[in-house]
Amino acid sequence: MDMFAALQAFVAVVDEGGFAPAARRAGQATSSFTRHVDALEAALGTRLFTRTTRQVSLTEAGEAYYPRA
């Protein structure tokens, strides 16, 4: 896993409010952002986002991790 790319994806998703807007802004596929964040969550051993079909929100762990990312 490219930790730098995973962190960039995580921060972009938070800043843009979702995977699709973050990917569009970066000119990449949404699936690549999803893979990066999934890998980051696996490496950390915790979920950073709560995902529904309409919304993405930070978990408590995500809120704590974001300022350090």
Judged against a pLDDT cut of 90, whether residue 60 lies above it is answered with: yes
Q: How many domains does the chain have?
A: 1
What range defines the domain where residue 28 resides? 3-68
Residue 53 is predicted with a pLDDT of 85
Residue 41 is predicted with a pLDDT of 97
pTM over 0.85: yes
- pLDDT interval class at 31 (50, 70, 90): very high
Distance CA 46, CA 43 (A): 8
Mean pLDDT value across residues 6-30 = 96
What CATH number is given to the structural domain containing 22? Answer: 1.10.10.10
> What's the pLDDT tens digit per position in 33-51?
999 999 999 999 999 999 9
Judged against a pLDDT cut of 90, whether residue 21 lies above it is answered with: yes
